[in-house]
Amino acid sequence: MAAGSLLALFDDIATLLDDISVLSKVAVKKTAGVLGDDLAVNAEQVGNVRAERELPVVWAVAKGSLLNKVIIVPVVLIASLFMPWLITPVLMLGGMYLCYEGAEKVWHTIAHRNKKDHTQARALLANSESDLLALEKVRVKGAIRTDFILSLEIIVIALSTVQEAPFAKQILVLSIVAVGITLAVYGLVALIVKIDDLGLYILKSTSLAAQFVGNFLLWLAPALMKTLTVVGTLAMFLVGGGILSHGVDHYVELNFALSHIHIFNNAFANGLSQNLFNGVIGLFAGAVIVAVISVLHRQQH
């Protein structure tokens, strides 16, 4: 009798784990687009620091990301039970922040296109360890702040895939997704920022093939970081604009859904046009917020 009960327990556990595995895969698949944006944004945020500080900075942001999710997962679960109306406005505020951050980066680049930020160079020349650490803290805080918004959207999207599942399964799936995406994203970020060091290590070999690979990695590292800088900024507009378009659909009934554009017969073309539309919304919203903040800042001074 006891043996039968034990086998039944094992069977229940196996079934539960199988269900959680399936639900987790569905959740990760649905959040794949935002994960790509999360990777691009965070790789761009933690780049351009001293080589010996790259991994410590990535680790600091990864810890902050985990703390973000420790806060987000229970809050989102509780809100979904007792205050489901709160999730959409909070997401929209986060989307507006992403749009603002992206627009602020673009405006700063345009306004200071002939000027370079020599803050880090000056700190290096002055050999000021405290100034360099202060700069790192600013970068880490900015990356963690951006990660919070992206993580919030990822967790909400993941929750939408398990909304009908029992509450215990929702907890397990969101916990698995939270830990899994953090490990995946920041593991890849760590790999990206150390590509140049890998190239230098490979160049120590006298093999012609190794020399070719090493030189290629040294060329790839700055090119990849420049690309991620652009992609990361675009991702802010795409994700932020996507959140805002979903929010408008939630509150305002229009003749068509802003978040589901279907003007072509081809799914890829529709997806591309939807991303373009979200990007335009994000850019416009960000530009408006930057303009408003600039006017308020001038009035205060």
> Residue 128 has what pLDDT?
56
Residue 120, token pair as written in the block: 């880090």
> Residue 129 has what pLDDT?
63
| Residue 244 CA to its chain's centroid (Å) | 17
> Residue 66 has what pLDDT?
92
Would you write out the chain's pLDDT as a tens digit for each of its 301 residues?
444 444 343 344 444 444 445 444 544 444 444 555 556 666 666 656 666 777 888 888 889 989 999 999 999 999 888 888 888 888 888 888 888 988 988 888 887 666 555 544 454 444 456 666 777 788 788 888 888 887 887 888 778 777 777 888 888 888 888 888 888 888 888 888 888 888 888 888 878 888 888 899 888 888 887 787 788 788 888 888 888 888 888 777 766 677 777 777 777 787 888 889 989 999 999 999 999 998 888 887 6
As a whole number of angstroms, the distance between CA 19 and CA 162 comes to 11
Name the one residue in this structure whose structure tokens are 């780049």.
47
- Which one-letter DSSP state was computed for residue 128? -
Q: From the CB of residue 260, how many other CB atoms can be counted at a distance below 10 Å?
A: 11
Q: From the CB of residue 150, how many other CB atoms can be counted at a distance below 10 Å?
A: 27
Q: From the CB of residue 48, how many other CB atoms can be counted at a distance below 10 Å?
A: 14
Residue 77, token pair as written in the block: 């679960």
DSSP per-residue letters across 18-75: HHHHHHHHHHHHHTHHHHHHHHHHHHHHT-SS-GGGHHHHHHHHHHHHHHHHHHHHHH
> Residue 265 has what pLDDT?
78
> Residue 71 has what pLDDT?
93
232-254, pLDDT tens digit by residue? Answer: 788 888 888 888 888 888 777 76
> Residue 115 has what pLDDT?
58
C-beta separation of 61 from 143 below 8 A: yes
Name the one residue in this structure whose structure tokens are 């554009």.
261
